[in-house]
Amino acid sequence: MAWLRAVLMLALLVTAVLLEVTVLPWLHLPGAVPDVVAVTVAALGYAGGPVRGAVAGFSAGVLLDLVPPADGLVGLTAVVLVVVGYLAGLVGADQARPALVVVGATGLLAGGAVVLLALVGGVVADPRVPWDRVPGLVLTQVVYATVLAAFVVPLVGWLWRRVDPPAPRYEVARQ
């Protein structure tokens, strides 16, 4: 069943990247383009755990850095999304968390991704996120990611459970 999880992860990430690069810029929303890739990576981290979340983040980041109109250093987005996926996996380790907490955490992770992209970009002299725009980008990204997370996280969780059902629990009968 591991190959089914890999196929599902790849399909979700390619869909998210294509949406973010082709469809969402045409909406001309104020602030930033909604980061559906970061929300999808966070959702995969919640569903699969920190290691699978980090793998999803790395894969999505490299894919985003290679798909035209790529304008920065290859691997920079991958570093940021690895952190997002890993942290989401740590948050999602407790399955008893309320949905509101998961949605809020996704918004904060997407906002943190903007700050981390600006920090890492500042270290390696990548001008994709200028510091004067960071506060506005963080605010809009948190709002957009929170709205997207209300739909994406349950959908990804449902798909993940369909592909990777939990192990059956057997009760030992007493006689």
Domain range summary for the chain, segments of one domain joined by +: 2-19+34-163
Arithmetic mean of pLDDT, 73-98: 87
d(CA 126, CA 129): 8
Q: How many CB atoms lie within 10 A of CB 163?
A: 17
**Confidence at 169, pLDDT banded by 50, 70, 90:** low
Max CA distance (Å), the chain? 72
**Confidence at 168, pLDDT banded by 50, 70, 90:** low
Q: Return the CATH fold of 2-19+34-163.
A: Arp2/3 complex 21 kDa subunit ARPC3 (1.10.1760)
Q: Name the phi and psi angles at 7, rounded to 5.
A: -65, -45
pTM for the predicted model, two decimal places: 0.88
